[in-house]
Structure 1
Amino acid sequence: MSERRPAQFRHLGPVLYPAGLFMQKAMADLVRSGEPDQILVVEHDPVYTLGRHASPEDIHVDAAFLKAAGIRVHRIDRGGQVTYHGPGQIVVYPVCDLRGGRRDVGRFVRNLEEAMIRTAGDFGVTATRLSGCPGIWVGDRKLGALGLHLRRWISTHGLAFNVSPDLRPFGWITPCGMRDKGVCSLHSLLGDDCPTWDQAADRLSFHLAETMALDPLAVPAPSLSVSATTWRRTLTGPEVLVMLRQPVEGLWWSSVTGMVDPGESLAEAAIREVREETGLEGRLLPLDYAHSFYIDPRVLEIRAGKPHFNRETCFHMEVSPGAVVDLNLAEHSAYRWCSLEEAEDLVLWDGAKEAIRRLGRLLSGQ
């Protein structure tokens, strides 16, 4: 048996797709510098991704339909054509150094497929390879997909394993360019006996370590932050408060965000941040959404080194229409009340945009 290579498995849970692309690039730079392989285990928001060989015609619905369905489209640098990612699907990005004696892409692909096959088997599903069709299959239905990118023998992108995603979006595309085959999931095959996302992710990580001869290393827990999208009712509809960071803070528009202090609950941290940043009070409610992201050291002006991940939990707070904003000038230089659409366009970070979109769906009753 070949020598096991150290690797850090990071179970990050929900990650917005652009944040996933960014963290892959950052981890590729880290691995290229000699750090251990990084295995990122995530769950994405609904997106279609178009690989290098994809055509817009592979998506069979128009932009209005996609907007109503909450599906975004990203063209990316992996191989292959169009596929779907969404909640209930495990996406694994094995950012690995294939230099030296590991320069065998075919073996790398087979190892990823084998890990998915073994994971399916753990839950009583027999999956196989299909000649000429990457991924794993149950009959003529794909259970797990593959799409890789190599740059100077550092791998990015990876695999998608269907636990319990909504399968309808696969029907609105030509998945992976295949018109005569279908898609399945553990849930479509097992019904109520389907494992949870976490259970399947744990088994998939175990099998990846075995098939790829990886030695999992300890990883630090992510830091914790909160966001509190603060809004008010008006005669023309809801308005969201956005604030402009001071130039030394980056000069970008944001909603209320902040780190969780030791001993605080997430809700306590959100209420404190609203009070400290705006002077406002209101009723705090959860948006039932949390997501993880990689923190670029350049943004926070911290020393580059070990990768730093953060998990942000999102809330919203309705305040009185006549409430007066008492802006914290140490952090922000200006503020605006905006429509949901204007606020989404103004804020810089994808997490803030997603929180505003979720607030909009909540207020519209969707």
Structure 2
Amino acid sequence: MSLSLPLVTVVRAGRHSYAAGLQLQQHLAKSAQILDPPSEFRNYLVLQEHDPVYTVGLRTKDYTAADEDRLRQLGAEFHRTDRGGLITFHGPGQLVAYPILHLRQFKASMRWYVSTLEQMVIEACRQLGVPSATTTKDTGIWVGEHKICAIGVHGSRYVTTHGIGLNCCTDLRWFEHIVPCGIEGKGVTSLSKELDRLVPVEEASGALLSSFTKVFKCRLQDQADAKLVTAAEISSKIK
């Protein structure tokens, strides 16, 4: 593989709280504010699972304190974020991937980035045996009338944060308490449901990494080969 391709360090963060995941990505992304030129920025792909949490994006304004309390009483956390998109759920059995990329190393376009993210997920689903996964007029990746992957991103100075939540073996009952991504009349699904077998996050991670290198045209470096702060170290700093 050509050394001229962008290098992306894979951070396997494991399972932790949504707050820990946010702080981890902020820690990794902040170097973009001090590095010039962009070619010096180290790109990351954070793979993780979250404890049960409902999150809302920038355009969500109609969730009241009572709504938050109702969802928290289910045993989940509730967070407002700076990503795009409406309300969704993250939890065990879902592969959450945060690409933290400087787009000037790839293509300086958020529209291109979102489209490429979609292609990456579709290719990963195809590799896993779900060839019907596709895009529609609604955000995310769909299998028929059911969303299999949510997408919500943020960009600042061409540096991306947030990303995708791919349902692998997620307990889909968590989604029954919300209108996922604000889309009425449609449902959610998972790789396990579509394939009628258990698809663990680890298996989906392998397909996603393969797809990521292919679609984003980059090289991957495992975290073990780089000196990085760990998710555990970040989590320990959160009170």
TM-score using structure 1 length: 0.58
2:61 to 52, 55, 63: 55
Aligned: 1:76 with 2:77: no
How far residue 59 of structure 1 moved from its aligned partner, in angstroms, is: 10
> Is 1:90 matched up with 2:95?
yes
Q: 1:127 to 1:106 in 2, by over 3 A?
A: farther
The one of 176, 179, 182 equivalent to 1:177 is 182
Query: In the superposition, relative to structure 1, how do residues 84 and 138 fare at CA in structure 2: closer, same or farther (>3 Å)?
Result: same
Paired position in structure 2 for 1:111: 116
CA 221–61 in structure 1, closer or farther in 2 if over 3 Å, else same: farther
Q: For residue 41 of structure 1, what is the aligned residue in structure 2?
A: 47
Q: CA deviation at 1:31?
A: 4.2
Alignment correspondent of 1:270: none
Question: What's the offset of the Cα at 1:82?
Answer: 0.7
Q: Check if 1:204 corresponds to 2:208.
A: yes
Distance 2:129 2:164 in 1: 20
Instruction: Tell me which residue corresponds to 1:227.
Output: none
Q: How far 1:136 moved relative to its partner?
A: 1.0
Does the 8 Å CA contact 1:108/1:212 hold for their aligned counterparts?
no
SS at match of 2:139: strand
Does the aligned pair in 2 maintain the 1:81–1:177 contact within 8 Å? yes
- Kindly provide the amino acid, as one letter, of the partner of residue 238 in structure 2: W
Q: Identify the structure with the greater helix proportion.
A: 2
Secondary structure at 1:130's aligned position in 2? coil
What is the SS of the residue equivalent to 1:220? helix
Task: Give CA-to-partner distance per residue, 1:65-87, whole Å, 9 cap, x none.
Answer: 43342111100001111111000
C-alpha distance in structure 2 between counterparts of 1:140 and 1:39, whole Å: 29
How many residues are matched?
231
CA contact (8 A) 1:127 1:136 kept: no
Residue in 2 aligned with 1:349? 238
Letter of the 2:19 counterpart: P
- Higher RCO structure (Cα 8 Å, ≥6 apart): 2
C-alpha distance in 2, partners of 1:211/1:101? 11
- Give the distance between the partners of 1:100 and 1:216, measured in 2 at CA: 14
Q: CA 1:179/1:74 → structure 2, altered by over 3 Å: closer, same or farther?
A: same
Equivalent residue for 2:9? 8
| 1:62 Cα offset (Å) | 6.1
Per the TM alignment, residue 173 of structure 1 is displaced from its structure 2 partner at its CA by 0.9
Cα pair distance change 1:100/1:186, threshold 3 Å: closer
Shift in Å at residue 179 of structure 1? 0.5
Distance in 1 of aligned mates of 2:19 and 2:152: 17
Equivalent residues of 2:98, 2:164 under 8 A apart: yes
Structure 1 residues 59 and 133: alpha-carbon distance in aligned structure 2, compared to 1, 3 A threshold? farther
1:106-156 deviations in Å (ceiling 9; x for gaps): 221122111211221122212333332222110011011111101111100
| Partner Cα separation in structure 1 for residue 195 and residue 133 of structure 2 | 17
**1:210 positional shift:** 1.4
What letter corresponds to residue 47 of structure 2 in structure 1? V
Q: How far apart, CA to CA, are the structure 2 residues paired with 1:81 and 1:99?
A: 28
Q: 1:56 to 1:47 in 2, by over 3 A?
A: farther
Q: In structure 1, list runs of 5 or more residues that go unmatched.
A: 223-305, 313-346, 351-366
Whole-angstrom CA distance in 2 between matches of 1:212 and 1:128: 19
Q: Do the aligned residues in 2 keep the contact of 1:55 with 1:81 (CA within 8 Å)?
A: no
